[in-house]
Amino acid sequence: MTEGLTAARPDLTGGLRGRRDPFAPLHENPLAAMKRDPHHPGSASLAVPTAGAPLPVTRYADGRDRINLGTGNYLGLAGDPRVVAAAEAALHRYGTSTSGSRVLNGTSGLHLELEAELADVYGTEDAVLTSSGVNANVALLSTICSPDDVLLVDSHVHASLHAAAAASRGTVQRWRHNDLGSLLQRLEALDPRVGAVVVVDGVYSMTGELAPLVEITELCEQFGARLVVDEAHGLGVLGEVGVGAGEAFGVLDRVDAVTIALSKSLASVGGAIMTTRAAADGIRAAAMPYVFSAGNDPASVAAALASVRILRAEPERVRRLRDNCALLRAELTRHGAAPIVGSGAVVAVPTGVDEVTGTAWRTAFDAGVYTNAVAYPAVPRGKGVLRLTVMATHTEDQLRAAAEIVAASVHRARETVQVRAVA
């Protein structure tokens, strides 16, 4: 079948019968070209296959074990025997797929159980499961606002929130990242009859910075605006219970809707929205990612359910994670690679231009540490970082060794790029 299609249309890159090729943006994307060149300094953006679970020391497809500072497995539960056993039991009982939308045949008792557990954790009336964290944001923001309403979106929120806001019927206005004056200016300029929704990340995924939620909730109350907080990178990391930035700042009860990704601390895949029962029912009735997407597979639901129960039963994991984050930040600073100030499990080491970012990533990878290289458009141009993510199950020795390697890799990359520039 594929051969027939290729034979019938041999020159997709050169246009179709004189027409401009609508696929040209894909073929000409410079990032895609970089991915095709394994020797390019930016080849760090390539997905690196693993050969095992995302543990503190992970085996990669080249057969080497590396200290893994590039996973969202914050609580270390993705390989926990209890979580694996729960997923296995659900697989045998329910099969591999729901094979249907939640509004048709795609709901099991496990789905309802996890929704009830998440609502209880967040102290909300209800929770809605979605097939991904991205879909949680799209399901929520695409179903709120009338055409005259406004979404006020922090400019650095996760890409899924930008896309979700664009899917809303409301008008999108962006305000400067974590700049309360910019948000205030936007709120003051609104017609007081217009509905307003403020959208932020609790923890910003590329830098580990926190949203100033106390001040933001005060502004929302002053101007009668709703507040949506994405806690994908706060769940399992912040607060005594580990519910996220809203809990850590003591404002969780003043947030109108929380979205999460199950793929981080809950060692699964999927997403969820915690909100009022009325809002949850509206999402179930109208959100395309809920109505027209197959329900989460039973094994992933069972894994998330087991993980959230472990989180509630073992809060010491959250404390251990915070201690590990503090240690890594201190060690990086000691070695001359101070990260961006933040409190989450995302630790961002500035690298600057893409060539330094890519070279530093490759050097650290070859030396035995896996990180994430982050460049534009995930961050502003010239503001690249090596994005390190910490697990509760990392040992102190692993973090000390990794910090030394990462810092040396960044220094060496900067020197290498300077030499190339002079030459």
**Whole-angstrom distance, CA of residue 227 vs CA of residue 213:** 10
Count the neighbouring beta carbons within 10 Å of the beta carbon of residue 322.
18
The domains found in the chain, sorted by start residue, are 37-68+316-422 (3.90.1150.10), 81-313 (3.40.640.10)
Region of 400 please: left (phi>0), alpha (psi -120 to 50) or beta.
alpha
pLDDT of 95 higher than 70 = yes
Q: Are strands 257-261 and 271-275 parallel, antiparallel or unpaired?
A: antiparallel
* Confidence bin at 423 (pLDDT 50/70/90): low
Please tell me the predicted confidence (pLDDT) of residue 45.
47
Across the range 403-420, mean pLDDT stands at 90
Model confidence, pTM: 0.91
Choose among 166, 144, 143: nearest CA to 153: 166
Contact of 236 with 279, CB cutoff 8 Å = no
**Whole-angstrom distance, CA of residue 17 vs CA of residue 324:** 59
Across the range 30-43, mean pLDDT stands at 60
Quote the mean pLDDT of the chain.
92
Return the beta strands (E) in 53-159 as ranges: 57-59, 65-68, 126-130, 150-154
Encode pLDDT of 158-213 as tens digits.
Answer: 999 999 999 999 999 999 999 999 999 999 999 999 999 999 999 998 888 999 99
Encode pLDDT of 316-341 as tens digits.
Answer: 999 999 999 999 999 999 999 999 99
